[in-house]
Structures are given as structure tokens and as C-alpha cells.
Structure 1
Amino acid sequence: MLQRSTERLDIDLLILPETNLILIASVIEPLRGANRIAGTELYRWRLLTPDGAPVPTTSHIAIPTQGAFRTTTENVPLFVLASYSWRQSATPALKMQLSQAARHRSIVAGIESGTWLLAEASLLDGLSATVHWEDYEDFALAYPEVRAVKDRFVIDGKRLTTSGSLPTVDLMLEVIRQRQGYSLALEVSRLFRYEQPSFHADETLSAASAGLRAHDPRVTQAVHLMEEHIEQPLVLARLARRVGVSARHLQDLFQQSIGAPPHVHYLALRLNTARRKVIETTASFADIAAATGFNSASAFARSYRASFSESPSETRRRLRRRIISSAPT
């Protein structure tokens, strides 16, 4: 699951009663956004509940289901979503099902209070895991065999855990980054006007900081300069001078703040701008290359393919075929 791939990834979501709508959306919407931006179905999800019935949420909106959760030999990732009253769902039967499913699933993720369910099923023993900041102390005391940490999300082998709704968005962006690359993950985050602090943030969560984003203003200024200079990119030294730091220090700030060096972020901005032009205009690839700071159409095509696993012409042909096939006859 967490490796570069152009294959579609299917994911099962086991949604427990009294889960927040925003938590469900935090898993699904980044994946939907990735599909929309890529113009192809990179991700597909299936909604499951313990008994197959629509599950009530804390917003009093029932989530329809595509089936009941059953123990099978399927190897698709399983995400367990829970917010409140998770103990009511932690029956011996469900814990046994989770334990049996984990033998086959490539990934098992505990989303917010879903972490408790995985711990109850002994699926986190000897591993690091995170949980909502309100529950951290109780969780650490209840499961000493689990290395409880205060990260936004944790990936430890085949187990993923998150500490809340927005950290779940962080996790899903990390999944997209590892599978499709930094450019698509960045574009998905920008689709939601969501400024992500880091793919591997390590700040401590508290009542005061939960859900907030603390950005270094110099990184923010540098990103704005990048966005203003897409056609004629600024070299790192000049960018750093404009921000008022050394080039080395700016590299460190970017790594600490967004988990990527300046040149990677800058290239992603340019390629995403180029991709929109490929999809939304009929401009020549040479013109698009010039408009996004590439020295030649061939250099642009190489970077484009390395980032999106297809050439600009293949993108246009694929989307043209999709439009033709969906046109009424």
C-alpha cells in the first residue's frame, strides 16, 4: 500500500456507531480528490458496518453501508473508524474478527478511537501508536504493551493510527504522497485549501494546539514567492535572500515545516500548474513548458512523466477518450 504505484487501491472502511462525519470525510475526501485531480480512479473504498445496517453518526445522519464486516481472506487495507462510545462496539466477536482479518490484510488502520479497537484486539502489541490527545494518558495506562506516542499519525509496519480528524487528513495525504508522489499530494491538499504542516509532524497535541497549524512565516513567504514566480523560477540562493535567511537554513526550515526540501516543493507547484494547463487548455507542450519554467519541452516531459507516471500527451489522450466514452449517443 505505501509504495509507489499506479494501480488502483481498494480500501475497506469499517465504520462504528457514533463516528463523526468529519472523521469519515477525512479518510474519503482526500482519496476522492486524488481521483478527481488525476482523472482516473486511483482509489476505491467500500463502507462496512459491524452488522451491515446503516450506521448512526454523531450528526444524526446515518451512513449507508455496502455490507457487513466479515472475516475473509481479502488482503485490501482495512481502516477502523470510531469516535465516541467505541467500547459498545468492542464485543468479543468483533475483536476476534479484527484479529482474524489482520492475518490477511496488507494494512490495518485505527482511525481516531479506532486505535482503541486495534489495541483491544492485541493488534498493536509491541508497536507505536497514537490516539486522540484527550485519551492519551488513559490509553497509555490501559495498554502498556503499546508504545503510545503523541504524534498526529503513526505508521509502524502494517499498522496505521491517527489522533483525530485533521491528523487523518495528514495520513491520507501521506498515503497519496507515497503512492503517487509529492506533486499529487500537494495538489490534493491545495484542493481543500488545507495547509499541511508536515507529513511526519512530531508536535505535541494539547487542548490548545489540537487542530491548529503553526507555520514558520519564512516558509510561508517562500512558498508565496514560489507561487508568484512559476514562469521564471527563483534559484534557492535568491529565494533565501528574499526571505532573509541562508539557503541552508531555508532548506532546514522547509524540511521541518512541510517535510520536503524547497526544490521538491517548487517543482511540484510548477508541475501541478503545468498539469492543469495540459488538462484544461489546448496549449502546446512547448508553450506549457515555457509558462512553467522548463528550459525545453523535452525537459518538461521528463519531469512530468517522473511525477505523474504518464506523458503530457498520454494525459490528454486518456482524458479525451473518457470524454468521448461518456458522451451521449
Structure 2
Amino acid sequence: MASFSHPGAATGTVPEPQTLGFLLLDNFTLISLASAIEPLRMANQLAGRELYRWYIITLDGAPVRASDGMQVTPDASAQSPLRLDWLVVCGGVAPLKSVTPALVSWLQSRSRVLRRIGSVCTGSWALAQAGLLDGYEVSIHWECQAAMQEAYPRAAWSMRLFSIDRDRFTASGGTAPLDMMLNLIGRDHGRELSAAISEMFIYERVRGEEDQQRVPLKHVLGTTQPKLLEIVALMEANIEEPIELDELASYVDVSRRQLERLFQRHLHCSPSRYYLKLRLTRARQLLKQTPLPIIEIASACGFVSTPHFSKCYREYFGTPPREDRGESLKIRRLEPIPSPVTESESLMQYSSASVALNDARGEPTYASVALN
């Protein structure tokens, strides 16, 4: 394995390591945190010196649980006198519950002295609420895209895996922080180092800023159905004011009957059903991730009346929108463990998996796949 010399080797000076603070919000995703930290560890190992150092922080210094139920004890509280160069806000499930006025105020005050500010997964919620993403290109998990565009229109929300825009860096979630950190390390210390880190992690390709989230429909259908892809793109771009099917057909120069056949053959549903699915999926995201009134959500998703929206929503998801909204706003707490109880019984009854599943009940994707 190649070794790496530091920028000050020729002059005999060794630059100070960059210090990062990882601010963990309740229910942060552990995979995103690990994906962001591990490249820094390996950068130091391969360089043979400390290029980066990091601290785990919570707002009050108390332990915090990840979305999988694991509890993490921080190194410091937000009020600790740490001298940070970078701050990374780590979000996860139900980010709105973690974005408090105290957190927003602290982020605003620290932003004045930081070289770089970033986030992984849904940590962008906190930065956006603090006004720290206005005028920047920002990446966030595709599931939160619609809600963020509605709530914070001053930021340029992107479907890229990650975005690095001047002194801001944001990753969508999952393993995307690994790619983002490899790109940042490459900018700081050269591509040879970032490539070597990738090799150590058996990571075949370092994805760049141009890589997009989710598998686009064109990858599913291939390149043999350009008219269908164009029609779906038009649907996705016109959620608030749906386009009539005859008009959609005319845009791509096909007949209404040809349009129907394309959808039935390749997407196994009618075009009107597919369009309705897109609008209801967007509505569910807004319902669960924003405090927007139901009447505004209905309008934003192309429904002319709230009763009609509620009827369609119930028929598609099996529950009325008001009930879904209520479930998403509930704060679930574990019942006190009966006493006396053995440690073994406690662990079995209140496992990390059960905590994570309980917390996931308010998520838009909960129970969305029917199993045999």
C-alpha cells in the first residue's frame, strides 16, 4: 500500500489536523455516521499521521439512540469549548422532532466560525431551519425531497447523492456520505489518497457529485421506450397541476390508445392510475414530514377538494390522511419495565429491533410492502 506525504513535508512543517464535530440528532442513522467517519480514520491510517480528528456531540451531552435502537455516548455537549473546523449534522428518522429552537440558535452561532458546515441523511432539516442552506445546492434523501422543497424554497434541492457547494456539503443518506467524504478528502489531500481509501474498503467506484439517487425509470425500462419515459417525466414535473391524458399523449405524438397500451405493457397499470400514485405518494410524504394543513397538501398534489383527496388517499393507502397525520405526530415512548425483572427479560422485551420498529411506524414507507 502506498504511503502519503503531508503538504508541509518539503518545508518540515506539519499542518494541524482538521477537527470535525459530528452532531447527532435523535434517531440518527448509524450507517450514515459510520460512512462519514470511517474514511477519515482510514485517511489517517494511510497517511501515517492525523489528517483529521473528530468528536461525537449531542446538544446536551446526553447519550442518544440511533434509528436502529443502538445508544451512543457522545464525547461532548454542544456547549463544550471545542475548536471545530467542520460541523456535520447527522439526522435520521423523524428529523422535525429534533429541530428545536435551541439547536437552531446554536447552529447559527457556530456557523460564523466554522470553515465547513455539512450534514448527512436528514441533518439538512436542521441546517435549512437555521437558514444556513439558503442559496446553496443541497442533497437530501429522496423521500424528504418534496417536503424540503415546500418548506425551504430558498435552497436548491438536488437529487444528487451528495452536493459540495462552496463551504457547505450535504449527503442524502445510506452510503452516500462515504462518497462525499472521499471526494472531500481528495480535494484536501489528493485523489491518490481517496482512491487508496476506496481500495481498503473494497469499494469499487468512488461516486461523484453527478451521480443521482434512486434507480431512474429509464434504467428499469432501458432506452427502448423514450416516449413512455418522457410522459412519466412530464407527470413527475406536474404534480400540483396535473396534465390531461389527451394532452400528455399529444406532447409525445402518440394517440390516447397508444398511451394506454404503453402503460399497461410496461408499468402494468393505466396512465391515470400511475399519475394518481405519483400524486398520492407525494401527498403522503408532505403529510408525514411537514406540518402543512391537509387542505394545502391536497392542493399541492393536484386535488380540487379535500373530500376527494381523502377518498382517494383512503382507497390507495387503506387509511384516511388525518389518521396518517396523527400517527406521524405521535411521540412513542417505551412503557416502564415492570419490576422486578431480570436483565435478560428486559433485553428480550425491549430489544433494539423493537425500538427501531416502533419508531418507524410514523414513516411513509412503513408497511408499504405486502408480504405473503
The reply to whether TM is greater than 0.5 is yes
Give the deviation of 1:132 after TM superposition. 0.4
**Which deviations, in whole Å up to 9, do the C-alpha atoms of 1:64-116 show, x marking residues without a partner?**
21111128694511110011121111111110110111011111102110111
Counterparts in 2 of 1:99-248, with a 5 A limit? 99-200=108-209, 202-206=210-214, 208=215
**TM-score, normalised by the number of residues in structure 1:** 0.59
What code does the residue aligned with 2:123 have? G
Change over 3 Å in CA distance of 1:170–1:209 after alignment to 2 = farther
2:53 equivalent among 44, 67, 72? 44
2:68 equivalent among 42, 55, 59? 59
| CA radius of gyration, larger in | 2
Give the deviation of 1:119 after TM superposition. 0.4
Give the deviation of 1:195 after TM superposition. 2.0
Change over 3 Å in CA distance of 1:190–1:54 after alignment to 2 = same
CA–CA distance in structure 2, aligned partners of residues 50 and 176 of structure 1 = 27
Residue 68 of structure 1 is matched in structure 2 by: 77
CA–CA distance in structure 1, aligned partners of residues 115 and 87 of structure 2 = 8
Moved runs in structure 1, 4+ residues, more than 4 A?
Answer: none
Give the deviation of 1:37 after TM superposition. 1.5
Change over 3 Å in CA distance of 1:209–1:14 after alignment to 2 = farther
In structure 2, stretches of 5+ residues that fail to align are 1-6, 9-13, 220-372
* Deviates most, 5-14 or 178-187: 5-14
Identity %: 33
Give the deviation of 1:196 after TM superposition. 2.4
Q: Is the 8 A contact 1:9 1:42 kept in 2?
A: yes
CA–CA distance in structure 2, aligned partners of residues 126 and 56 of structure 1 = 32
CA–CA distance in structure 2, aligned partners of residues 130 and 72 of structure 1 = 30
What code does the residue aligned with 1:161 have? T
**Which deviations, in whole Å up to 9, do the C-alpha atoms of 1:234-263 show, x marking residues without a partner?**
xxxxxxxxxxxxxxxxxxxxxxxxxxxxxx
Residue 72 of structure 2 aligns to a residue in which SS? coil
**Which deviations, in whole Å up to 9, do the C-alpha atoms of 1:258-304 show, x marking residues without a partner?**
xxxxxxxxxxxxxxxxxxxxxxxxxxxxxxxxxxxxxxxxxxxxxxx
Aligned-CA RMSD value: 2.3
Residue 86 of structure 1 is matched in structure 2 by: 95
CA–CA distance in structure 2, aligned partners of residues 203 and 158 of structure 1 = 20
Q: Is the 8 A contact 1:71 1:98 kept in 2?
A: no
Change over 3 Å in CA distance of 1:39–1:72 after alignment to 2 = closer
CA–CA distance in structure 2, aligned partners of residues 136 and 196 of structure 1 = 26
What code does the residue aligned with 1:98 have? L
Residue 56 of structure 2 aligns to a residue in which SS? strand
Residue 118 of structure 2 aligns to a residue in which SS? strand
What code does the residue aligned with 2:213 have? L
CA–CA distance in structure 2, aligned partners of residues 14 and 196 of structure 1 = 28
CA–CA distance in structure 2, aligned partners of residues 173 and 122 of structure 1 = 27
Give the deviation of 1:53 after TM superposition. 0.9
The count of aligned residue pairs is 207
In structure 1, stretches of 5+ residues that fail to align are 213-329
CA–CA distance in structure 2, aligned partners of residues 75 and 21 of structure 1 = 22
**TM-score, normalised by the number of residues in structure 2:** 0.52
CA–CA distance in structure 1, aligned partners of residues 113 and 198 of structure 2 = 31
CA–CA distance in structure 1, aligned partners of residues 55 and 180 of structure 2 = 18
Change over 3 Å in CA distance of 1:68–1:95 after alignment to 2 = same
